[in-house]
Amino acid sequence: GKMIKIAAMRIKCLEYMLNHAQQEIIYKKQLTNELWGERSQFISDANLTQILYLLRRDLKGFGLSQFFSTVPRTGIKVDANIIISNENKSCLPSSLKKEEYKYMALFFALLTMVIMVIYLIR
């Protein structure tokens, strides 16, 4: 299998996207508030742009480079062709071949475990 390291901030960003994917647009302010909390007022757009760039690069390794798109000067939009199941937090593009599903399922199972460990460490 393929292994990648994703920084905690990008995992938090991805988790927020998964939980809010049904929104037409996830606004920059929402993401900034989620990622930086009270410090968000001091965070520039460049910081968020960097997180999104790196997350997109991470997801590209799993064939999910189009998981979200940028809405200029507004925020992001999660691809409507992505199926997101709240039951097990899996996120599978409908265009994947059957043999790729097991790798995607494994990735998101591991991602969920990493997110849980991060929250337990806090």
Model confidence, pTM: 0.66
Specify whether the CB–CB gap between 23 and 65 falls below 8 A: no
How many separate domains does the chain show?
1
Amino acid at 17: M
Tell which residue, 71, 72, 84, 73, has the closest CA to residue 15.
84
Between 28 and 98, name the one with better pLDDT.
28
pLDDT per residue as tens digits for the range 29-73: 999 999 999 999 999 999 999 999 999 998 888 788 889 999 999
Q: Is residue 1 part of a domain?
A: no
The whole domain housing 99 covers 8-121
pLDDT at 47 (0 to 100)? 96
Residue 51 within any structural domain of the chain = yes
d(CA 81, CA 19): 16
Looking at every residue in the chain, the average pLDDT score rounds to: 81
pLDDT digits (tens, 9 = 90+) for 24-41: 999 999 999 999 999 999
Q: Return the H-helix or E-strand segment holding 17.
A: helix 8-19
CATH number at residue 33: 1.10.10.10
**Which residues are paired to 77 by β-bridges?**
69
Given this model, what pLDDT does residue 62 score?
A: 79
In a domain, 61, yes or no: yes
Is 17 inside a domain boundary?
Answer: yes
Whether residue 106 is contained in a domain is answered as yes
